[in-house]
């Protein structure tokens, strides 16, 4: 082929030159086919790229763009917008310490500083052995169990600096670790494959909600409460009593005050988690 002919020939698509496994390319196409508009599959596709590459690579961006028929810039814009997509390789276990308001007040900042010192890494950095990537994260919607640490997006509730150290040590040692509310912890790449839409059949492992999360439900059942009616009426058509929003708030506040009255007043005792808080779960279950 002459130089002129070579220059005139179209270059292969990035997907054709990809070093991603053939199975992964097939699964990326499968994801694109799950949606009426293929580009809607971009989020799970990026998770699948991370499950293979350990992060969102330039090659992964090009392949996703090629499959979806959009520009690499559009894919990159999504990959850099959401914090769950990483542009540097992540270790086997992504340890996220919540440092948002409530967790920070309850000790999240102290936990983060202890882990940085213990692991000898900074924020968003990985240990030399590639086992742990440490990052401070925003609210994980688990404020009733603050301070919370997440490992590959599995919850570890009511943590302390000491329990968090035991947790990361267990992960580095290769021990099997069970989340406080959720499944056994898998590797980062395995978790990314699940987020991509390929379940690992472990969704029902462990409890999904704890006592603190269900307190409102228990309170409503104890008082036979139903959802407030628009006019705050007392009776429904089926004869069941309905409570207005104002009465609900007053009763909940009264019960909360009563619980506080029963709480220990000594500073040392007040700092201890309640019996159902599952404190130090990470250290005891590994």
pTM comes to: 0.71
Domain boundaries, the chain: 11-79, 93-208+281-285
Pairing label, strands 132-137, 93-98: parallel
State residue 19's pLDDT score: 82
Q: Mean pLDDT in runs of 10 for the chain (286 residues)?
A: 36 58 95 96 98 95 97 96 94 96 94 97 95 94 93 95 97 94 92 95 79 85 81 54 52 51 36 41 41
Q: How far apart are CA 105 and CA 51, in angstroms?
A: 34
Q: What is the pLDDT of residue 126?
A: 96
3-state SS, one letter per residue, for 28-53: HHHHHCCCCCHHHHHHHHHHHHHHHH
Query: Comparing C-alpha atoms, which of 153, 157, 139, 151 is closest to residue 213?
Result: 157
Predicted pLDDT of residue 225: 87
Quote the pLDDT of residue 37: 95
CATH of 93-208+281-285, one of 1.10.8.60, 1.10.260.40, 3.40.50.620, 3.40.30.10: 3.40.30.10
pLDDT at 39: 94
CA distances from 242 to 57, 91, 176, 254 (A): 55, 52, 47, 19
């Amino acid at each position: 082929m002459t130089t002129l002919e070579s220059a005139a020939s179209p270059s292969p698509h990035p997907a054709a030159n990809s070093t991603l496994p053939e199975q992964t390319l097939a699964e990326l196409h499968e994801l694109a086919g799950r949606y009426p508009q293929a580009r809607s599959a971009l989020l799970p596709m990026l998770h699948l790229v991370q499950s293979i590459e350990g992060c969102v690579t330039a090659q992964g961006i090009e392949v996703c763009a090629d499959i979806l028929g959009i520009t690499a810039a559009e894919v990159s814009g999504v990959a850099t917008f959401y914090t769950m997509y990483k542009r540097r390789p992540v270790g086997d276990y992504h340890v996220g310490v919540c440092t948002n308001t409530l967790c920070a007040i309850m000790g999240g900042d102290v936990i983060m500083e202890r882990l940085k010192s213990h692991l000898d890494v900074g924020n968003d950095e990985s240990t030399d052995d590639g086992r742990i990537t440490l990052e401070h994260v925003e609210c994980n919607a688990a404020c009733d169990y603050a301070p919370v640490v997440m490992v590959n997006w599995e919850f570890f509730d009511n943590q302390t600096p000491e329990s968090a150290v035991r947790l990361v040590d267990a992960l580095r040692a290769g021990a099997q670790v069970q989340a406080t509310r959720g499944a056994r912890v898998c590797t980062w790449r395995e978790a990314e494959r699940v987020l991509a839409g390929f379940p690992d059949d472990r969704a029902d492992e462990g409890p999904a909600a704890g006592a603190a999360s269900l307190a409102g439900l228990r309170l409503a059942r104890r008082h036979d409460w139903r959802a407030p009616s628009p006019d705050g009426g007392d009776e429904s058509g089926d004869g069941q009593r309905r409570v207005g929003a104002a009465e609900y708030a007053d009763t909940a506040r009264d019960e909360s005050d009563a619980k506080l009255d029963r709480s220990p007043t000594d500073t040392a005792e007040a700092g201890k988690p309640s019996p159902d808080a599952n404190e130090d779960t990470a250290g005891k279950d590994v």
